[in-house]
Structure 1
Amino acid sequence: MKKIIRQLSGAVLFFCLLQPVKAQLTVTGQIRTRTEFRDGVGTLKPATNNAAFFTSQRSRLTFNYKMNHIIFQTSLQDIRVWGQDASTISNADGSKLGVHEAWAEIALANKKDTSFTHSAVDYFGVKIGRQELLYDDSRLLGNLDWLQQARRHDAIVFKLLNKGWQADMGFAFNQNTDAFNYNGTFYTPANVSPYVKDSRGNLAATPAAFIPLSNAAGLSSKTGSPSLQANPSTNGLYQDYKAMQFLYVAKTFNKTKLTGLVLADHFGKYINDSVKNIAGSDTGYIYGRRFNQKGVNSRVTTGILLNSILDKNKAFALTAGFYYQAGKDRDAQKISAYTSTVSLAYTKNKFTYTAGWDYVSGNDAFSSSTTNHRFDPLYGTPHKFWGLMDYFYVATGSPTGGLSNPFAKVKYNSAAKRFTAALDYHYFSLAKDQKNTAGTAINKYLGSEFDLVTTYALNKVTTLEYGFSVMAATKSMEYAKNITPNSAKLTGTWTYLMITIKPEFLFK
């Protein structure tokens, strides 16, 4: 990794030195370590299990080069858990180096740039390559920066600015290979291990265009039928989109910003399949989904978000938004779902007080409707909205019955903003009724979460962050998370210490 970084930085620096004086190169590094103690994070902890303790690290190096009508950026990152690799590894272990970003933005018109003899709009450009899609409050499109690996897309985005208006139009099309002997555009939407265990526990090669089930037997623990996982999931899990298009429009009126989003994402069709695996005298089966079917399941999400300063002293700020989903979900089920948010913030002296309510629609277990009413928050940053312990709409699944989340927050900023402290409260309940094993409705109240986060800027490049969270769940949370009743610890805790070092090595 060090050799690759030295070669890349040397090449970029040499190229920069050959350019006119107006060229600008910035090289930024980041080391971010996070030590965590987990005792019921993401889902309730089985009563017989022990807490987890570990340190993860992100190492990132970002090159940003600007000249004339172009911006070029590449971000290399290495993500790992301390001790994940032996102190000495062999070549067979492979490389852990990844490219988080690699994009270029070409300016086609810019009134602020005198090199353009004529520009009909304030700015028009195109951004091509691997990039973060970060809009508004990251509710539906965000970089998910809390995760060490973060989130990015391979896409092309056209960007327009003119007289207070902003319009971005993006396109993405995913494919697994460019091999000559590969026909069609079938897409296996996940990073799949090359090996999998069959129903008898024998190790076998993963079949082509195949996503295996999560357990060796290939059966859901409750239904006994093929299932990828017990809990419903969001797009960030096992199935990436085949194609995506979006249009984002924003307009600022005095102290009010109104934004609109229309996003269409399309998912490859699949069939449930099984493959026989013969290992010696033993015969087992590999169950899963085979993504070699023609056509896609298309879904459209559209909505608006309002951010407004309500008074001349900038003490009161209102946020309100509504988004609706229609079409078909990735499993070919008709979808009609929505989410809404409203919050009011008041700032006085060094404190900001916020109260609000998020509502995410779900399915009613007592309804005979075959339409999916469970809203999927697309490619946003759930960690920011629905509790720092990540019980909802992240990698541990999301409640079938949706989510109702009134919340209250208070934040303190020191005069120089060197120290901050924030305390959040979330009241979690199901949006729609769910039933227990006896067929009767469960209590909608799932639990309450308290999140405390403090940050301190040690110097210009180093920030310390400490967090402590508590989840006080009810027995209804066991049903919502598909856990055997009376088998889990209902109180979960989490604490972490994160150190971020972000120096700027070169600025020309």
Structure 2
Amino acid sequence: MLSPADSVMPELYTTQRNRLTINYKTRRFRFHASPQEIHVWGKAGKFSHVGGINAFELFAEPILAKNFSVRIGRQALSLDNGRLFSAAPWSQQSRSHEGIRFLYAGKWNTDLTVAFTRPYSKRFEAAYSPVSSHQYKLLVVHHLKYQFKNKLTLTTINAVDVFEKPAEAKQYYQRVTNGGRVEYARGWLYGTVNACYQYGRTASNKQIRAYYIQPEISINAARTAFRLGAEVLSGDKAGTPLSVSHSFVPLYGVAWKFMGNMNLFTRFPADVNEKGLLNPYLFIIHQAGKKLSFRADAHLFYAQHSLPKLGDQLAGKYLGFESDLSLNYKPVKNLEIIYGFSFTFAEKRMELLKKVPDASKIPVWSYLIISYTPRLLHVWK
């Protein structure tokens, strides 16, 4: 992050993930393990240090019938478009959950997950653990996807997460999220609407009454795709009773995929001061060839409800604009190179949210990802 006196990035460091994926599969059984070591180079005055040694996934999956299996252990949970549940592949540690998952795949696909948390080791940085950031004690998720013959697809996600009250041991509160998506695809045209409703209690015992809406339309023209849509996350307006929260929390999904690579808004409702967020976006993806593609994203950010006024000049909802440019190159099999550059034109109101220290300056961010995933051994039986 740039301070008002800075004109260049004050810190440069590199993270390196070394992940080994092991799969063993028979007709009636599957075992999967993906141990990983995350190394940090040049951060906090150190030449290098180990950020974390852990397992991204470690599970056994008995296949009980032709279309039915049970997955037991630590596992990624990627549902729908990743907004509510994602493996977070862009982060070095990714994200996973520990528990049991019942999966059915046939004319329709459905799964039921029951996950829990336990005391995790404090030896390594929590920032590089795929599970230690979870605060729930129990998580139950049901997912269903069905494709109709008329080019419509229906997806439902229903989740309950149970938390321990901060100041009361063995006392719990819960949050419930019910939602779904309708998709229509025909040739070059794609349209979708996603909607969720959230209720239950917050850590401060507020009653939750919140919603999320995401409409999107996509057009594929030859080698170029255009995606136009918006996200609406509800928040509290002036006069909302202190006992009620209208702030929607997007559970265990990813933000950068929808709200920009600079991660200005990732922690809800804290990052928007509980005022909600409106995020219209336009994505343009161009496939230049088999190995090279370009992408340009544009985001507008508005608070759903006006921020507390600190003078008439700050009255309003507009927060800023972000642009993300990226290049994806795959020179050979199993090797991928991604370069990205992002910048933000922030409104003065962004300072109220502590997203930028000085709205008169343009924050920029750039990254380079090199990913090599060779297959070391493959044995057929």
- Alignment TM-score > 0.5, same fold: yes
**More contact order relative to length (CA 8 Å, sep ≥ 6):** 1
- Aligned match of 1:75 in 34, 38, 49? 34
| Structure 1 position 505, deviation (Å) | 0.7
Amino acid at match of 1:268: E
Question: Residues 364 and 396 of structure 1: is their aligned pair in 2 closer, same or farther, counting only changes over 3 Å?
Answer: closer
Separation in 1 of the partners of 2:87 and 2:292?
Answer: 25
Measured on the aligned residues, the alpha-carbon RMSD in Å equals 2.6
Please state if 1:156 is matched with 2:90.
no
- Aligned match of 1:494 in 343, 365, 371? 365
Contact 1:58 1:80 in 2 (8 A): yes
| Structure 1 position 131, deviation (Å) | 0.4
| Structure 1 position 148, deviation (Å) | 0.6
Contact 1:46 1:489 in 2 (8 A): no
Please state if 1:304 is matched with 2:200.
no
Separation in 2 of the partners of 1:140 and 1:386?
Answer: 14
Question: Residues 481 and 373 of structure 1: is their aligned pair in 2 closer, same or farther, counting only changes over 3 Å?
Answer: farther
Please state if 1:347 is matched with 2:220.
yes
Question: Residues 306 and 95 of structure 1: is their aligned pair in 2 closer, same or farther, counting only changes over 3 Å?
Answer: closer
| Structure 1 position 249, deviation (Å) | 1.0
Larger Rg: 1
Question: Residues 269 and 454 of structure 1: is their aligned pair in 2 closer, same or farther, counting only changes over 3 Å?
Answer: same
Separation in 1 of the partners of 2:53 and 2:132?
Answer: 21
Amino acid at match of 2:109: Q
Aligned partner of 1:245 in structure 2 is 140
Aligned partner of 2:108 in structure 1 is 165
Separation in 2 of the partners of 1:86 and 1:344?
Answer: 47
SS at match of 2:377: strand
Question: Residues 308 and 191 of structure 1: is their aligned pair in 2 closer, same or farther, counting only changes over 3 Å?
Answer: farther
Residue by residue over 1:211-253, the C-alpha shift from the partner in whole angstroms, topping out at 9 and shown as x without a partner, is xxxxxxxxxxxxxxxxxxxxxxxxx996611111111111011
Contact 2:193 2:213 in 1 (8 A): yes
Q: Aligned ranges for residues 268-279 of structure 1 at < 5 Å?
A: 268-271=164-167
Separation in 2 of the partners of 1:393 and 1:324?
Answer: 19
Please state if 1:129 is matched with 2:73.
yes
Residue by residue over 1:134-172, the C-alpha shift from the partner in whole angstroms, topping out at 9 and shown as x without a partner, is 01110100011111111010010001123x211101101
Aligned partner of 1:7 in structure 2 is none
- Aligned match of 1:404 in 264, 267, 278? 278
Question: Residues 440 and 419 of structure 1: is their aligned pair in 2 closer, same or farther, counting only changes over 3 Å?
Answer: closer
Number of aligned pairs?
368
Please state if 1:46 is matched with 2:11.
no
Contact 2:350 2:359 in 1 (8 A): no
Residue by residue over 1:390-445, the C-alpha shift from the partner in whole angstroms, topping out at 9 and shown as x without a partner, is 001249952121110111111111342x1110101101010112213459963210
Q: % of aligned pairs identical?
A: 30
Please state if 1:323 is matched with 2:196.
yes
- Unaligned 5+ segments in structure 2 are 125-130
Aligned partner of 2:127 in structure 1 is none
Contact 1:433 1:441 in 2 (8 A): no
Contact 2:165 2:172 in 1 (8 A): yes
Separation in 2 of the partners of 1:367 and 1:99?
Answer: 44
TM-score normalised to structure 1 length: 0.68
Separation in 1 of the partners of 2:113 and 2:182?
Answer: 22
Please state if 1:422 is matched with 2:319.
no
Q: Aligned ranges for residues 452-491 of structure 1 at < 5 Å?
A: 452-481=325-354, 487=358, 490-491=361-362
Aligned partner of 1:227 in structure 2 is none
Question: Residues 387 and 191 of structure 1: is their aligned pair in 2 closer, same or farther, counting only changes over 3 Å?
Answer: farther
Question: Residues 397 and 494 of structure 1: is their aligned pair in 2 closer, same or farther, counting only changes over 3 Å?
Answer: farther
Amino acid at match of 2:375: E
Separation in 2 of the partners of 1:339 and 1:101?
Answer: 30
Contact 2:12 2:42 in 1 (8 A): no
Contact 2:234 2:275 in 1 (8 A): yes
SS at match of 1:384: helix
- Unaligned 5+ segments in structure 1 are 1-39, 111-122, 177-189, 195-235, 272-291
Question: Residues 483 and 390 of structure 1: is their aligned pair in 2 closer, same or farther, counting only changes over 3 Å?
Answer: closer
SS at match of 1:53: coil
SS at match of 1:78: strand
Question: Residues 351 and 239 of structure 1: is their aligned pair in 2 closer, same or farther, counting only changes over 3 Å?
Answer: closer
Question: Residues 334 and 88 of structure 1: is their aligned pair in 2 closer, same or farther, counting only changes over 3 Å?
Answer: closer
| Structure 1 position 490, deviation (Å) | 4.1
Separation in 1 of the partners of 2:179 and 2:55?
Answer: 32
Residue by residue over 1:436-461, the C-alpha shift from the partner in whole angstroms, topping out at 9 and shown as x without a partner, is 34599632100000111110101002
